[in-house]
Amino acid sequence: MPRPTPRAAVLAIDAYVPGKSGAPGAGKIFKLSANETPLGPSPAAIEAARNLAPEAALYPEGSSSALRAAIGARFSLDPARIICGAGSDNILELLAVAYVGPGDEGVYSQYGFLEYKIVILAAGGTPVVAPEENYTASVDALLAKVTPRTKIVFLANPNNPTGTYLPASEVSRLARALPPQVLLVLDAAYAEYVTAGDYEAGAALVDAHENVVMTRTFSKIFGLAGLRLGWGYGPAHVIDALNRIRSPFNVSSVASAAGVAALGDRAHLQAAVAHNAAWLPWLAGEISALGYEVLPSVGNFLSLRFADAETSAAADGFLAARGLVLRAIGAYGMPEFLRLTVGTEEANRLVVAALKDFSQGARA
């Protein structure tokens, strides 16, 4: 029987597999597999979401104008050049659909966030991978992959799952060297966590170039991953293109209200930054002291290396049996690594203790 057939490009996609969220048989679960914040959402965001629930029968205001105004005020950006979406994934998807088609190429780096490959393929384009150096994106390698067919370059800064970043000077060099018809997407999902002095999320580059867009999210430090809320900031002509193709009500009223409230809660944000600034180096130090290589992360997670893929899988199982759910990143070509989100103090201490036991050959 004939049946409807998706485009060949769609069937070429390996669907994104999220990190595990549970561990059957373990007692208390610590989900450290999706780079969610251990501090949860701001209480003000929870209250705002609750207050909006009775209005759920009504469609949201379609352009997310209140949220765009709040983002604009908070980050000193023009709200007319902001677009909101159901997570920053939604913005990445819109960018690919708007700028990439069959015969076009989209470039990203070797260990870059997996979603780039998916959205390029889904748009009908060809993914092109630039090698990294020391698990860090290389501007020269990205530029070397640019051809007349290149329409878009995606750069996660800092990158997931490596946690590494490029300093502002390098990102600026990339923006200046790209041909003006190639769109550069700076995905700054983890920007708020970065404390390095030479880091910039990308807004200044957006203002300086007609071909640079920055994407951001409420899923990470703002703790609203479940509500699906992200945004992009770009030149007016890019935002115009995205607005033509986004679904008319792509951000729910509950998510918008929670986002506005989250932006207003500076204390909660500062607490999350401080928590990460204390525990990320602690985890890196303790895990390195056990003899594992830890990639130098500036996000709210880190990737640690085992001897080989089998040992990594064994460690994953060992930790999961104790309720410690990490992220296997074989899909990124890093099967000998596990990615660990910075958790609560309790979770962080348990992970280090479990890794110590694992390295000493203990059984879960």
Residues lying near ligand PLP in the complex (CB under 6 A): 35, 87-89, 113, 156, 160, 187, 189, 217, 219, 225, 230
Q: Coil, strand or helix: which one is 91? A: helix
Work out how close the CB of 226 gets to ligand PLP at its nearest, in angstroms, rounded to a whole number.
9
Work out how close the CB of 282 gets to ligand PLP at its nearest, in angstroms, rounded to a whole number.
22
Residue with the closest Cβ to ligand PLP?
Answer: 87
Work out how close the CB of 214 gets to ligand PLP at its nearest, in angstroms, rounded to a whole number.
12
Provide DSSP, 7-43: -HHHHTPPPP-PPP---TT-SS-EE-SS---TT-S-H
Closer to ligand PLP by CB, 158 or 355: give it: 158
Closer to ligand PLP by CB, 60 or 112: give it: 112
- Other beta carbons within 10 Å of 64: 27
Closer to ligand PLP by CB, 88 or 276: give it: 88
Work out how close the CB of 225 gets to ligand PLP at its nearest, in angstroms, rounded to a whole number.
5
Q: Coil, strand or helix: which one is 217? A: strand
CA separation for the pair 97, 164 (Å, rounded): 28
Q: Torsions phi, psi of 154, nearest 5?
A: -105, 130
Closer to ligand PLP by CB, 249 or 356: give it: 249
- Give the DSSP letter of residue 136: B
CA separation for the pair 294, 83 (Å, rounded): 36
Closer to ligand PLP by CB, 185 or 294: give it: 185
Work out how close the CB of 264 gets to ligand PLP at its nearest, in angstroms, rounded to a whole number.
20
Which residue intervals of 112-202 are DSSP H helices?
Answer: 115-122, 139-144, 168-177
